[in-house]
Structure 1
Amino acid sequence: MNIIPAGSNNQDLAVNDLFHALDAKLKNKCVGYAFVISYKENFCTGNSGGFCRLQQDDHPRVMTVFEKYNCASVSKLVSSAALLLLLYKKEGVGLNSMMWEWLPSHWTMGNNIKTITFKELLTHTSGFRTSVRSYADLKKLIKDGINLNDKNDSYYNNSNYSLLRLIIPKLAGYSILSLKGLSESVIASKEPTQAETFANDYIDYCRKHIFEKLASMPDMSCTEPTLQPALFYDNEDTTKTGRHMGDQRLNAGSGGWVMTTLQMAHLFRSIHHTEKIMPAALAKRMRDEHLGYGLEEVEGVMSYFKSGGESLDGREYSSLTMGFANGVHIEMMTTSHMALKNIAWDAFKEWYH
């Protein structure tokens, strides 16, 4: 599919022109890159360049749209969709319900924690100012509480979505052993097992209710391949060995899901241009109410996006999913750091008329 009615007043535009604009902004600018362009529910085209493993690492290979990477904060879309599906189906609880009741029952609820709604987690207006991911750090975050004045402004924070790793299994009715009323020593001995149970049940729910709805995405994981995984690099010093994130199950929720660029595109198409995963009205709420997305207007066309990135010992990578109101969307992955949101915007502006 090349010619699409995606211009102003529905005039036809050539996808190949957007392809060339994107490719020019990525080629030779990073160690490796891949992107996919889609129109509504249809795959249009994609490309890749550079490397996902360099010569200093065993089994060097070129980058492709089939390479699996931890997609970083693009994972927030998975957690947001999973929570919305649960709230849509569950009686007596909704976006404006308080989230604290679905946290581990033995945790201490600090000041004003009981004022935070599910929607405030999804929109980063919860009041949390410390960004954490692990079970132990989340427990401390909740005990420390929040300042109500901090809820006045949006403050992007991984903690909001890391908590969904614990909330989603409890909302979904998974059987998780309660530690309430036990001695501190017993709790300390059992919390690592509980943390792993929450993580595995979160992954199980997302697999069954999101990924298994899509034939090309079975057995999705928060663990990167252990055999010759795709790596990411320091863009300023490409002689360094590559790194990878490994097993991120115990930190999942705000990040962690491992996908190819093609799979990111398929997931986005399926959420927003089909009803394979959720009703269209629910997908529209995700976009319109910033539930997992940032929103910006580009050349009179609204975009909704989630960008992500991770850094490990100076090695960085970037990910992006960005949709536009005209039905075009772009997914990108680079094996070293780039400002992908700006690249996608700039390419779109060059193309759109």
Structure 2
Amino acid sequence: MLSRTADHLFWMARYMERAENTARMLDVNYQMSLLPHSAEMAEQGWRSLLGISDLTEDFARRYRGFSAREVMDYMVRDESNPSSIASCLRAARENARAVRGALTTEVWETQNQTWLEFHRQFDGNRFLRDPGECFEWVKFRSHLSRGVTLGTMLQDEAFHFLRIGTFLERADNTARLLDVKFHGVSDEFFGSTGPREKDVEFDFYYWSAVLRSVSGFEVYRKVYRTVLQPEKVAELLILRPDMPRSLMACVNEVVHNLAAVANEQSGETQRRAGRLQADLKYGRIDEILATGLHAFLTQFLDRVNDLGAGISRDFLVPVRH
């Protein structure tokens, strides 16, 4: 396959996954903002959401406050923000248009229709009246895109580059979400004193929101059959290979699909992916927490970025996105 074609497929999938992940985080943060709490806590919630995508400084240069309306407008409709849902859906569509010959008609039409319908969904007051409905629409379109890909495309190199892009982006997002959500409360929840009793009710909503942002609340209940515990939330989202959005599941998919497109110069990238897979496969959550979750996730993100650079070097056009 031509490297330019592989590049467009890889980034089409990444941008579509990024749009869904952004919608998930915004939806959960918006639902949490409806609960009774102080203005300071509400602002901190929106700040942390921007922090997940490293956009706090850029946002502060353009907006005067951290209100829900301003942050959602920036993360949804602001096309000058390369990580906004609008920018991601446009980029996914443009990458798909560039390689229409490598896609089935259904895959192309799904991408194209998603972009065309976006403005109808999010323009005017419709979005402001019911943000949750609009976020559900983004998630549905991402699910549809992924399902059409699985259901209609030949599982050749084009298919594998789509999958690599999807799961590399998902691994990055899950790690960023965990780092931000756990970093601010790590001393409280993983220290010797344990959680404060007066915050038990808030803690439930906090950790359930983290799980719901990755569709993991029902999964947690099924796997652990116990009250929400931060260390088990971390274990589910890091080490469980049967949890679709866990780091382990994402890395497994990346390794599998890399093997399917391997070439003469990809050996080192495959080795690093396999090393990361082994570290997760044989890791234990108590060891990770003992050495520091933030340090672990920071290192994981560095390794994922290194994998992305290796994939670009070995297979794709060396263009910065």
> TM-score, normalising length from structure 1?
0.25
Greater strand content:
1
| TM-score (normalised: structure 2) | 0.26
Bigger-Rg structure (1/2): 1
Q: Which has the higher helix share?
A: 2
